[in-house]
A and B are shown apart, each in its own frame.
Chain A
Amino acid sequence: METLVYIALFAPFVSSMFAALFGMSPRKTFVGIVASLLLLISFAASVMLMMHIYATGTGIHVRMMDWISAGDLSIPFGFLVDQVSVTMMVVVTLVSTVVHVYSIGYMDHDKSFNRFFSYLSAFVFSMMILVMSDNFAGLFIGWEGVGVCSWLLIGFWYHKADVTREENPSISPSWAANEAFIMNRIADLGMLVGLFIVYWNVGSLQYDAVFSALPHLSGTVLNAAALALFIGAMGKSAQFPLHTWLTDAMEGPTPVSALIHAATMVTAGVFLVIRANPLFSVTPEVSYFIAALGTFVAFFAASMALVNRDLKRIIAFSTLSQLGYMFAAAGLGAYWIALFHLAAHAFFKALLFLGAGNVMHAMNDELDIFKMGGLKKTMKWTYLYMGVASLALAGIPFFAGFFSKDAIIETAYNEGTLVLWAILVVTAGMTAFYSFRQVFLTFEGDERYKAFGIHPHEMYKFVLVAMSPLGILAVIAGFGKGSFEHFVTKLLPEYHMSEHTHHIAWLLGLIVLAFAVSGIVLAYKKYAKKLVRDEKVENSFIYKLLANQYYIPKLYEEFISKPYAMISEHMWKDVDMKIVDATVDGIAKFLYKSGDGARKMQSGNLSNYLNWMAVGAVLLLVVAAFSAMLG
């Protein structure tokens, strides 16, 4: 079994290194194929591990080597494959495999094809370290690795120039990459503080050691640690107020977006909360804060998605919203439901993104859904995939999202947090509306793209086939809910609905369904036939507010970036140039001068050199004599 663990972990690494070998050379299709195969191997190993754990019910703990052992700090490099991490591993490797295959088609014309695969696999490898590590240090390494890889990938088309915010809300790929990286750095600081608090008080970073020491810690320490760790999670999972990077990250190639949203990055925050559930379950205040923030983000993101015109951004907002759901569940103590939603969401969100990629590919990278429409004729399969994924996202019965999202909403009711419940229900309706608004605007109605002279075409066959596992899972994943619960609750705390909730579960479900269906119907009525733009609505304050993302990016720019730039400039001109620089220059000049002086010693004359040796010997004697007398 141990070998399987290593295979699952290192296959992506090998893949990355292999692709990196060809990083500089021109596009070679076999690089993509080998990378995909290695990912497939990793997936197969993960599935076998999952079956093993399902059968035996015990996790596998391997210890690879002692990584740092300096004084009292001892950090073994170990891996833990248990119910939670194996679930993540299967989800991550499955989605990544599909994304790899997809990229062979999608990045077909890109010069840096090989480099792309190298980054992509490195991204997966970092995420695997993150989920498989048996200690917080390893998790943090994976965490940073994911950050670096996301920076590389979002900025993959770094050569694109910066434009104004009006033209492109995310300015340029490299700007977006930097934004994502910096936002994450801010959050990582929180995470690091959390790790220090844990280490300071427990003396270890091993999960089992930390969790078994929790009862001995004071409430303040626990709250501080939980809060600090959650700040880290907020960055990676793009929770308010650190959410802006997620939509701007759409600047990266679409397969990257699929990977970030479904498998390798944003789920890391949720994973952290689930992994550290013993800590969060003893800090109810922090947990409630998480639930409330999650609910708020769910609604907040959904509202922005309502009016957005950018195909990928809408999906990005929906991810944000669904992450909110997951945090709500985790905050309310239903960790296994959060994990379940994470898995189910990964499937249909990856599918949605890959579908969006198909559309982009067909539309020459056009993303404005107002310029699309009627694509169903040419892109049947993509329509089917995106339709299924949207149904799942909207929570229509018997699709994957229905089971997981309903469970979350039910949990909110069960906990008696009716306000949260109500918001989540409304959000479910909004979700249905915006996802179908996008589907209908893209695939139904009049063919607006003709005005722009675009000739759409369907994606390659093998890409469509590669997407099919996701499509199937988006439909059927929900039916595994029972066995999934049975599987993961061996490790995660069980969560039961109360008797009362159980009785009215059908009613609750019906209410959600009603909201969802009415959302879809509304979207159909408004957008399926034809795009009618309503000037009055579009000029209304709320519409503008939503379309500009509550002016938050602008706010950040005005109140954080610009003052920061001003202070920086001031510091540079006045403090740095006049004081620091002058000092440094002075030192450098001094060093240079003394270097020049010392160069005289190096005359090249042998007699001089011999003299120097004698001088040295005498000097040594003098120094020795002095120190002997003084000492």
Chain B
Amino acid sequence: MLQPINVSLESLNLITLAPMLVAIAGGLIILVLDLINSKLHKTLYVMLTLLILFIDFGAVLGLNVNERGFFDVMLIDGVSIISQLMIIVASMLFIPLSLTSKRFHEYSYPEFFALFLFMIAGFQFMVTSDNLILIFVGLETASLALYTLIALHNRSNSFEAAVKYFTMGALSAGFYAMGSAVIYGLTGSIELYKVAAVLSLRMDEASIMIAIFGASVLLLTAFAFKLSLFPFHTWAPDVYEGASAPLAGYMSVVPKVAAFVVSIRIFGMYIDLGIEWVRIIILVLAVGTMTLANIMALVQEDVKRMLAYSSISHAGFIMAALALDTTEGTTAIFLYYALFMFTNLGAFAMLWISRHKVRRFSDRYDNPYEKFAGLINIMPMGAVIMALFMLSLAGVPPFSVFWGKIYVMQAAVNSGYVWLAIVMGLNSAIAAYYYLKLIVFMFLKEPVKSVDTVYYNLSKPLMAVIGLATVATIGAIFYIQPLISYIYYMISASGY
């Protein structure tokens, strides 16, 4: 018969669950508040969400590095702490963007904020575990919430985007589940550290290798979808176009950080085991993504789509760092996103400022280049800031993304991949073209219509967020060194 189970509370190490519980509880509080009094002003929810995120942030900071909790399901290592911090900071930047001068549709739902907090909890679960099941459940929680947030923008192309994202996400979830099942079938475990232990003993069995091979390709497909790597990126431009601009900016950072953490855990393990072809397919994916996305970005006529392709290309850039599997390479991933986060969110927020309901400049697109023609005359400060973001994205020193790029390239060279660094350099050169195109439109062209109307959606909180992003973009030179050392310390502490 079964023995009674005795578990001491200390051995559970419940503190490891604290950050996610904060977010989930916050979401529930918002729902309950709305039930009690549905007439509350929506700004309250924004502030409440911010407050919860702050508490969440504090809870993450309070965690100790390299601990496991709850029957070893939870794993708090440096990677998980850094990624949680980045997720929360990006969210804190994102949430105030709802306080525009016109309160858009989605922000009138308290459920929007509740879903947002559940999504964050989902991402946090995803990054604080090496248990494939928990990763899966966290990922799906976050994804479901994200699909809904996209659809809440309430325009026909938002629905289209949400449905596309949902369907393809379901397929990728299928890939993931398949891959995990194969791994379980092979090793009898779905916890990566046990998987690694089993695999390292049975590396010489050919049939095992075939299975590993298949499993890793399936998992890679699933994550390549989440990371929008070529050729799994097809959803990205449509979804970015359909989502509201801030959400598009958010989507190009936060879900990808979470997906990268899991990829580091899974594929880092494979590469560490000496399975060299995993590295090669990752490199192929990375190079293909950065090059093709760049080329496609060139021919876009819409700024938002261009930015979508550009963030795909940036993801490819970072994917290459994953293939290196050195401490420096892993540091580069987080450093890059930490820097990219501010600039990219800033750029999308600038699009958000110019949000119209009516497509006034083009029948097909919301943000065609023509809309920004002559912006320098209409809104000089805005044009300069947008140009700064573009220069930063193009990797012009001394703005923030430049340091990320240079660090990635350095990591590549240090691991002996000189050709990779060269490919990256070439790609940055191509990318500069389409970023400069926007600058040319803003500074050198005359406004298309002689209307003195622009920039309706501006408000104080928006300006504060953009200002913060600008400062972070320009001032990178001052904080880059401490940032690198912090990330490097955290990464090396967790053994990557």
In-complex A–B contact (CB below 8 Å): yes
Chain A interfacial positions (CB closer than 8 Å to B) = 24, 65-67, 69-70, 588, 591-592, 594-596, 598-599, 601-602, 604, 606, 608-610, 612-613, 615-617, 619-621, 623-625, 627-628, 631
User: Is residue B352 contacting chain A, with contact meaning CB distance below 8 A?
Assistant: no
Could you say which of B2-10, B214-222, B245-253, B330-338 contacts chain A? B214-222
Give the docked Cα–Cα distance between A620 and B284 (Å): 9
Give the docked Cα–Cα distance between A628 and B206 (Å): 12
Chain B's nearest CB lies how many Å from the CB of A73? 13
User: Is residue B155 contacting chain A, with contact meaning CB distance below 8 A?
Assistant: no
Q: A69-B481, A598-B296, A609-B168 are in contact. Are A627 and B281 (CB under 8 A)?
A: yes
Specify which chain B residues have a CB less than 8 angstroms from the CB of A627 in the assembled complex. Answer: 276-277, 280-281
Q: A598-B295, A612-B232 are in contact. Are A606 and B221 (CB under 8 A)?
A: no
Give the docked Cα–Cα distance between A613 and B430 (Å): 26
Q: A66-B481, A624-B281 are in contact. Are A591 and B295 (CB under 8 A)?
A: yes
User: Is residue B235 contacting chain A, with contact meaning CB distance below 8 A?
Assistant: yes
Give the docked Cα–Cα distance between A619 and B221 (Å): 10
Give the docked Cα–Cα distance between A617 and B223 (Å): 11
Report whether A601 and B234 are in contact in the complex, using a CB–CB cutoff of 8 Å: yes
Chain A's nearest CB lies how many Å from the CB of B136? 18
Contact of A595 among B171, B234, B277, B296 (CB under 8 A): B296
Specify which chain A residues have a CB less than 8 angstroms from the CB of B224 in the assembled complex. Answer: 616, 620
Chain B residue at minimal CB-CB distance from A614? B171
Give the docked Cα–Cα distance between A592 and B437 (Å): 14
Specify which chain A residues have a CB less than 8 angstroms from the CB of B216 in the assembled complex. Answer: 624
Give the docked Cα–Cα distance between A70 and B225 (Å): 36
Give the docked Cα–Cα distance between A621 and B213 (Å): 8
Chain A residue at minimal CB-CB distance from B414? A71
Chain A's nearest CB lies how many Å from the CB of B173? 12
Chain A residue at minimal CB-CB distance from B170? A610
Q: A598-B296, A609-B164, A612-B234 are in contact. Are A624 and B277 (CB under 8 A)?
A: yes
Give the docked Cα–Cα distance between A401 and B163 (Å): 84
Most buried by B among A588, A606, A615: A606
| 9 pairs, A vs B, C-beta closer than 8 Å | A591-B430, A595-B299, A599-B299, A601-B234, A606-B163, A606-B164, A608-B234, A613-B225, A621-B213
Specify which chain A residues have a CB less than 8 angstroms from the CB of B433 in the assembled complex. Answer: 588
Give the docked Cα–Cα distance between A67 and B16 (Å): 37
Specify which chain B residues have a CB less than 8 angstroms from the CB of A65 in the assembled complex. Answer: 481
Chain B's nearest CB lies how many Å from the CB of A125? 16
Specify which chain B residues have a CB less than 8 angstroms from the CB of A609 in the assembled complex. Answer: 164, 168, 234-235
Report whether A592 and B298 are in contact in the complex, using a CB–CB cutoff of 8 Å: yes
Chain B 422-464, CB-CB to A under 8 Å as 1, else 0, gives: 0000000010010000000000000000000000000000000
Chain A's nearest CB lies how many Å from the CB of B269? 16
Chain B's nearest CB lies how many Å from the CB of A124? 21
Specify which chain A residues have a CB less than 8 angstroms from the CB of B277 in the assembled complex. Answer: 624, 627-628, 631
Report whether A613 and B295 are in contact in the complex, using a CB–CB cutoff of 8 Å: no
User: What secondary structure prevails in chain B residues at the interface with A?
Assistant: helix
Specify which chain B residues have a CB less than 8 angstroms from the CB of A70 in the assembled complex. Answer: 410
Chain B's nearest CB lies how many Å from the CB of A74? 11
Specify which chain A residues have a CB less than 8 angstroms from the CB of B171 in the assembled complex. Answer: 610, 613
Give the docked Cα–Cα distance between A591 and B276 (Å): 32
Chain B's nearest CB lies how many Å from the CB of A145? 14
Chain B's nearest CB lies how many Å from the CB of A14? 16
Specify which chain A residues have a CB less than 8 angstroms from the CB of B217 in the assembled complex. Answer: 617, 620-621, 624
Report whether B213 and A624 are in contact in the complex, using a CB–CB cutoff of 8 Å: yes
Give the docked Cα–Cα distance between A549 and B46 (Å): 71
Specify which chain A residues have a CB less than 8 angstroms from the CB of B232 in the assembled complex. Answer: 612-613, 616
User: Is residue B467 contacting chain A, with contact meaning CB distance below 8 A?
Assistant: no
Most buried by A among B167, B231, B292, B481: B231
The B126-181 residues at the A interface (CB cut-off 8 A) are 163-164, 167-168, 171-172, 175
Give the docked Cα–Cα distance between A599 and B209 (Å): 37
Given contacts A613-B172, A631-B276, 5 further A-B contacts (CB under 8 A): A591-B295, A599-B296, A606-B164, A624-B213, A624-B281
Specify which chain A residues have a CB less than 8 angstroms from the CB of B218 in the assembled complex. Answer: 617
Give the docked Cα–Cα distance between A620 and B481 (Å): 38
Give the docked Cα–Cα distance between A612 and B217 (Å): 15
Specify which chain B residues have a CB less than 8 angstroms from the CB of A594 in the assembled complex. Answer: 295
Specify which chain A residues have a CB less than 8 angstroms from the CB of B175 in the assembled complex. Answer: 617
Chain A's nearest CB lies how many Å from the CB of B23? 31
Report whether B296 and A613 are in contact in the complex, using a CB–CB cutoff of 8 Å: no
User: Is residue B237 contacting chain A, with contact meaning CB distance below 8 A?
Assistant: yes
Report whether A623 and B296 are in contact in the complex, using a CB–CB cutoff of 8 Å: no
Specify which chain A residues have a CB less than 8 angstroms from the CB of B481 in the assembled complex. Answer: 65-67, 69
6 closest Cβ pairs, A-B complex: A595-B299, A627-B277, A627-B280, A616-B231, A609-B234, A628-B277
Specify which chain B residues have a CB less than 8 angstroms from the CB of A598 in the assembled complex. Answer: 292, 295-296
User: Is residue B351 contacting chain A, with contact meaning CB distance below 8 A?
Assistant: no
Chain B's nearest CB lies how many Å from the CB of A585? 12
Q: A66-B481, A613-B172, A616-B221 are in contact. Are A601 and B231 (CB under 8 A)?
A: yes
Specify which chain A residues have a CB less than 8 angstroms from the CB of B72 in the assembled complex. Answer: none
The B313-371 residues at the A interface (CB cut-off 8 A) are none
User: Is residue B238 contacting chain A, with contact meaning CB distance below 8 A?
Assistant: yes
Chain A residue at minimal CB-CB distance from B224? A616
Specify which chain B residues have a CB less than 8 angstroms from the CB of A616 in the assembled complex. Answer: 221, 224, 230-232
Chain A's nearest CB lies how many Å from the CB of B169? 11
Give the docked Cα–Cα distance between A451 and B264 (Å): 84
Report whether B295 and A619 are in contact in the complex, using a CB–CB cutoff of 8 Å: no
Give the docked Cα–Cα distance between A559 and B216 (Å): 68
Q: A599-B299, A606-B167, A617-B221 are in contact. Are A623 and B172 (CB under 8 A)?
A: no
Give the docked Cα–Cα distance between A119 and B287 (Å): 45
Specify which chain A residues have a CB less than 8 angstroms from the CB of B297 in the assembled complex. Answer: 595
User: Is residue B50 contacting chain A, with contact meaning CB distance below 8 A?
Assistant: no
Specify which chain A residues have a CB less than 8 angstroms from the CB of B117 in the assembled complex. Answer: none
Chain B's nearest CB lies how many Å from the CB of A580? 14
Specify which chain B residues have a CB less than 8 angstroms from the CB of A69 in the assembled complex. Answer: 481
Give the docked Cα–Cα distance between A623 and B221 (Å): 13
Q: A599-B296, A613-B168, A628-B213 are in contact. Are A623 and B280 (CB under 8 A)?
A: yes
Chain A's nearest CB lies how many Å from the CB of B375? 16
Chain B's nearest CB lies how many Å from the CB of A588? 8
Specify which chain A residues have a CB less than 8 angstroms from the CB of B163 in the assembled complex. Answer: 606
Contact of A610 among B168, B237, B276 (CB under 8 A): B168
Chain B's nearest CB lies how many Å from the CB of A96? 25
User: Is residue B285 contacting chain A, with contact meaning CB distance below 8 A?
Assistant: yes
Report whether A631 and B238 are in contact in the complex, using a CB–CB cutoff of 8 Å: no
Most buried by A among B209, B297, B299: B299
Give the docked Cα–Cα distance between A48 and B444 (Å): 51
Give the docked Cα–Cα distance between A596 and B292 (Å): 11
Report whether B221 and A595 are in contact in the complex, using a CB–CB cutoff of 8 Å: no
Chain A's nearest CB lies how many Å from the CB of B299? 4
Q: A594-B295, A615-B231, A620-B217 are in contact. Are A610 and B281 (CB under 8 A)?
A: no
Specify which chain B residues have a CB less than 8 angstroms from the CB of A617 in the assembled complex. Answer: 175, 217-218, 221
Chain B's nearest CB lies how many Å from the CB of A610? 6
Specify which chain B residues have a CB less than 8 angstroms from the CB of A595 in the assembled complex. Answer: 295-299
Chain A residue at minimal CB-CB distance from B237? A602
Report whether B298 and A591 are in contact in the complex, using a CB–CB cutoff of 8 Å: yes
Give the docked Cα–Cα distance between A592 and B433 (Å): 12
Most buried by B among A616, A619, A627: A616
Specify which chain B residues have a CB less than 8 angstroms from the CB of A620 in the assembled complex. Answer: 217, 220-221, 224, 281, 285
Chain B's nearest CB lies how many Å from the CB of A591? 5
Q: A596-B299, A602-B237, A627-B280 are in contact. Are A610 and B167 (CB under 8 A)?
A: yes
Report whether A602 and B281 are in contact in the complex, using a CB–CB cutoff of 8 Å: no
Specify which chain B residues have a CB less than 8 angstroms from the CB of A631 in the assembled complex. Answer: 276-277, 280
Give the docked Cα–Cα distance between A620 and B224 (Å): 11
